A and B are shown apart, each in its own frame.
Chain A
Amino acid sequence: MSDHKFTRRIFLSGAVVTVTALSLTGCTEPKTQLVKIEQAGAFFNPDDLTLLNDIAEIMIPRTGTPGAADAQVAAVIDAMMMTWANGATRDLFSNTLQKIELMAETLKGKPYSSLTLKQRQSLISEIDVRAFSDEVPDYAEGYKRLKDLIFRVFYSSEAANADYVPIPGQYRGNLTLDEYESLTEAYSYGG
């Protein structure tokens, strides 16, 4: 019975288990452009958060639109380690971050934090290609799951959904681009 009660607690009073995501801030190292986070999260330590935040931003960088760091993806994932992940996933994600550190040494010959932004981008790109290749390196499962979660959290974030229309009030199925854009602007959060 005890785990049934746990279900009810999660569902019926979300407040009990809500872990409010931190707002991550940090100082940017001038040489490497790495944002060093000094605060510990609910699960990750400052070094893990620094790495996670950087990887997420490399995957989904700020362009003309917000990126993963703007959307606080690392902070949301940190909170989800307490409210969503089981022990195996927590271990897997921690190990995956460690493996990425190791890959930095192996492939680029330096600790991750000493690499330039360009080198870090090239490192993560290489890891990404290998993870999805037939080679199936030992970090593939953890990397793929972490990447999936980073994208999921980013693309459901407020930053990524500036044109989300909470209450459209109507459905229209045959609009010109102009008509569509003016309706979206009028009804979206941004409008």
Chain B
Amino acid sequence: MADEFDVIVVGSGVTGGWAAKEFCEKGFKTLVLERGRHLDHPDPEYTDMLAPWEAENAGLMPESFEDAGRYSMLRKKGRLYKSQWARFFVDDKEYPYSFPKDRPFMWTRGYQLGGRSITWGRQSYRWSAKDFEANAKDGNGVPWPIGYDDLAPWYDYVEAFAGISGAKDDVETLPNGDFLKPWEMSCAEQFVSDNLKKNRPDRPMVIGRCANLSEVRPIHTELGRGPCQARNMCKQGCSFGAYFCSLSSTLPAAERTGNLTIVTDAIVTSVLYDDKKGRATGVSVVDRKTKCLRKYKAKVVFLCASALGSVQVMLNSRSDARPKGIANSSGLLGCYIMDHFGGAGATGVVPGFEDRYSFGRRPTGIYMPSFRHEKADDVDFVRGYGYQGGGSTRPRTSHTGKKVGIGAAVKEHVGKALPWRMRLIMYGEMLPYIDNRASLHPVKTDDWGMPLLHIDAYGRDNEKKMLVQAAKDAEDILIAGGCINVKSSHVNPENHIELGSRTHEMGGACMGSDPKNSVLNKWCQAHDVPNLFVTDGASMSSCSTQNPSLTYMALTARATDHAAKLLKEGVL
């Protein structure tokens, strides 16, 4: 006998948490199915209260992991392969996926209650009208069926609850909200930002907006969330609940309504479908621990398993009548896989301020939104890139562990204040390419019998050209900002442009107005299956340059509102 609910939400990360909160608050019996293990908030697995010297193996991961080929992609990500937080990331040996040998794709996942809402960088930027107009304007991908105005009230709504700090900046391409107080810029960042205002007013540098409570409002304290302590330990779990995370924010809000059921260790393998009614009826699950199969039924199914996770479930929801998966009459399920790409940037020294210092570890950097929405004569590509980075902390001399030199004199030289520095790294907007594609592996399956996801997606000509220009622009910006000793660099554009390093994977079930060329309508609702919604990154028709999670939150809240109305009207 299948358990029955109003709504099933697949996944408990950023988007699943939001769907659960919204449906529960509207009075619907909601089941959240999460493939990973249960976590509490705060959880004994959090390591944020450990001092650096208490970290397991001084932050190093056991060498035996590398020998056994474990965490191969996380290891490639470098800074993320640390003992303090690796537990919140997926080991690709345990949960493999597939890609062409010469075109690797870096899929960074978090399978646990809360998903990647524990480890994300919390950079939170609204997209602007130009982002939603881009596909229609230059003819790439599927035109967005919504514009900024459709999402604006939902941005307001999710920002208020999540708690986004930021300044009211006067930048058309970076719309403002009712932000919590902004973090302070360092003297070096302020200097560069002020110089840009004078010398390059078209390239503004603002303080990063992030989902860490720079101040608390009643909507936060009533859930037990406290103010951010400027520790920048967020990837280790935040015992203060000062970070926006499903565990500290949306799931407790859902829980207090009494309408929430969470089942962890429940791997959703497919959406159940009634061919006669043309409706989803629930989902199939394989238990992660026992490998037993189960079914759950509901009136509405929300897929929030992360862009590629949801696409995998949809492709696997196949039958003789639907060999290409559910909601795939267009044949475009799995197409248009995108991510922001990196590989270019610049650094420079900020002169002066030798007598100025910083205190605390600010959980955000600076932000430079894309200034290349309109194609300019000096370049032969469309769209653009933004930059993140900054110079929040006064650099110090480091030790000689990897260099020649030992003894007292060398030791005395460690930790001396150096000149302030600035760093910019690019976040490029890649185009939506129809044949950047995720599909099911024809033969390989994981330990639970689920076909592996095969991801074949990479940057092409437009992205190669951007890489080179992004390095030049970064250099110009730092020089215009008053930096000296500016050095820019970019990776060889002729090499494979690997996606996934920015962990902003999008697309695969794009929204559009025409069921023939898109999977979802403007409500993130499947054209073919009215009670199936996909509100994570899979729904995105283009990828912009801004970090996407805030937009996923707004889309999810808007879609739940729509679905709730349809449920109340008896349409679903």
A residues near B (Cβ < 8 Å) are: 1, 3-4, 7, 10-12, 14, 18, 58-61, 63, 65, 67, 76, 80, 83-86, 88-89, 121, 124-125, 128-129, 131-132, 144, 147-148, 150-153, 155-158, 161, 164-177, 179-180, 183-184, 189
The CA of A184 and the CA of B399, in the complex, are separated in Å by 22
**Beta-carbon contacts of B387-419 to A below 8 Å, as 1s and 0s?**
000001000000111111111100110100000
Question: Which residue in B55, B63, B68, B87 is a CB contact (below 8 Å) of A11?
Answer: B87
Q: Do the beta carbons of B58 and A76 come within 8 Å of each other?
A: yes
The CA of A161 and the CA of B55, in the complex, are separated in Å by 14
B residues near A (Cβ < 8 Å) are: 45, 51-53, 55-65, 67-68, 70, 86-87, 91, 93-94, 183-190, 229-231, 355-362, 392, 399-408, 411-412, 414, 447
Instruction: Tell me which residues across on chain B come within 8 A of A129, comparing CB atoms.
Output: 404
The CA of A138 and the CA of B51, in the complex, are separated in Å by 37
The CA of A88 and the CA of B66, in the complex, are separated in Å by 12
Instruction: Tell me which residues across on chain A come within 8 A of B447, comparing CB atoms.
Output: 1
Q: Nearest CB to that of A60 among chain B residues?
A: B411
The CA of A174 and the CA of B414, in the complex, are separated in Å by 22
Q: Do the beta carbons of B355 and A172 come within 8 Å of each other?
A: no
Known: A3-B68, A129-B404. A174 touches B60 (CB 8 A): no
Instruction: Tell me which residues across on chain B come within 8 A of A173, comparing CB atoms.
Output: 184-190, 358, 362, 392
Instruction: Tell me which residues across on chain B come within 8 A of A128, comparing CB atoms.
Output: 404-406
Known: A84-B63, A174-B190. A124 touches B406 (CB 8 A): yes
Instruction: Tell me which residues across on chain A come within 8 A of B405, comparing CB atoms.
Output: 128
Question: Which residue in A148, A161, A171, A189 is a CB contact (below 8 Å) of B183?
Answer: A171
Instruction: Tell me which residues across on chain B come within 8 A of A176, comparing CB atoms.
Output: 355-357
Q: Nearest CB to that of A130 among chain B residues?
A: B404
Q: Do the beta carbons of B355 and A170 come within 8 Å of each other?
A: no
Question: Which residue in A121, A150, A156, A183 is a CB contact (below 8 Å) of B59?
Answer: A156
Question: Which residue in B59, B87, B360, B407 is a CB contact (below 8 Å) of A171?
Answer: B360
Question: Which residue in B60, B91, B358, B411 is a CB contact (below 8 Å) of A61?
Answer: B411
The CA of A166 and the CA of B240, in the complex, are separated in Å by 13
A115 to chain B, nearest CB (A): 16
Known: A63-B412, A156-B52, A177-B355. A58 touches B401 (CB 8 A): no
Q: Do the beta carbons of B62 and A157 come within 8 Å of each other?
A: no
The CA of A89 and the CA of B63, in the complex, are separated in Å by 9
The CA of A126 and the CA of B310, in the complex, are separated in Å by 59
Minimum-distance CB pairs A-B, first 9: A151-B401, A173-B186, A168-B360, A171-B360, A180-B357, A132-B404, A86-B63, A171-B362, A174-B187
The CA of A62 and the CA of B491, in the complex, are separated in Å by 43
Instruction: Tell me which residues across on chain A come within 8 A of B414, comparing CB atoms.
Output: 155
Q: Do the beta carbons of A147 and B67 come within 8 Å of each other?
A: no
Instruction: Tell me which residues across on chain B come within 8 A of A174, comparing CB atoms.
Output: 184, 186-187, 190, 356, 358
Q: Do the beta carbons of B359 and A168 come within 8 Å of each other?
A: yes
Q: Nearest CB to that of B357 among chain A residues?
A: A180
Q: Nearest CB to that of B65 among chain A residues?
A: A7
A129 to chain B, nearest CB (A): 6
